[in-house]
Structure 1
């Protein structure tokens, strides 16, 4: 094949900048669904952390279930269902995180109150001294 068999408009050859050979006013339309909307979060990592840590009343496990459902619905293209599951996963994660922080804080607060009470009580038990453990055990042996 030789180049004589091909006919180019206005001597425009490929890989050259020839605007005369192009049609004026032509446009390309690309349809994009949900162009401005961001897909919903699935909160999967947060749910895994809440499931593996304390997991009070299985709230972290419920968050994990809804996170997986949100990811599945997002993959299927059902953004409305994905958003609903995402919202449920978010609230279960908030509740689980609240409990995961509250329980250790309560234990720490009770421990501090116990130590303050033992230090300021009438008999002043020397809890951290030489006979501290024996004095502490006398409280429960009565």
Structure 2
């Protein structure tokens, strides 16, 4: 097929050229079905879209600031940042591994911190009840 640069001037003034005119002028051939009976094999590759890997940075930051039991919140925050860095690099497998570690650390921090809060509430309430009872026994009641 030769590619000569020619100026195309339609014979119909003001009307667009028809398909048949272009077909004859440029030697366009229509392709039909293949003449041989060979099997055509196709390969389909499904590319996953952006894989959403939760990095739990906000949860880790909350645990670091408010519920940092034995520095587990800070360690979870470090793993969350590592997960975010790996996600930005495109290393999804390591990002998921770091994210799951951060999630486990966040869960353990939350459980241990809530248990500590509950234990502290129980200790304070029982101690205050005991102190109140001790003062009430020492102080004589004034009967009006």
TM-score, scaled relative to structure 2: 0.60
Tell whether 2:86 aligns with 1:73.
yes
Please point out which of 73, 77, 102 is paired with 1:64. Answer: 77
Please point out which of 119, 127, 138 is paired with 1:106. Answer: 119
Aligned equivalents of 2:92 and 2:112: distance in 1? Answer: 30
* Structure 1 match to 2:104: 91
* Structure 2 match to 1:40: 53
Residue 104 of structure 1 deviates from its aligned partner by 2.0
Q: Is the 8 A contact 1:39 1:74 kept in 2?
A: no
Secondary structure, aligned partner of 2:108: helix
Aligned length, in residue pairs: 110
Larger radius of gyration: 2
Structure 1: runs of 5 or more not aligned: 11-29, 127-142
- 1:94-134 CA deviation, whole Å, 9 max, x = no partner? 111122222222111111111222344596356xxxxxxxx
Structure 2: runs of 5 or more not aligned: 1-7, 21-43, 140-144
Distance 1:82 1:31, change over 3 A: same
Aligned equivalents of 1:4 and 1:53: distance in 2? Answer: 79
Residue 31 of structure 1 deviates from its aligned partner by 6.2
Residue 74 of structure 1 deviates from its aligned partner by 1.2
Distance 1:33 1:125, change over 3 A: farther
Q: Pairwise CA RMSD of aligned residues?
A: 3.6
Q: Is the 8 A contact 1:70 1:86 kept in 2?
A: yes
* Structure 1 match to 2:4: none
* Structure 2 match to 1:51: 64
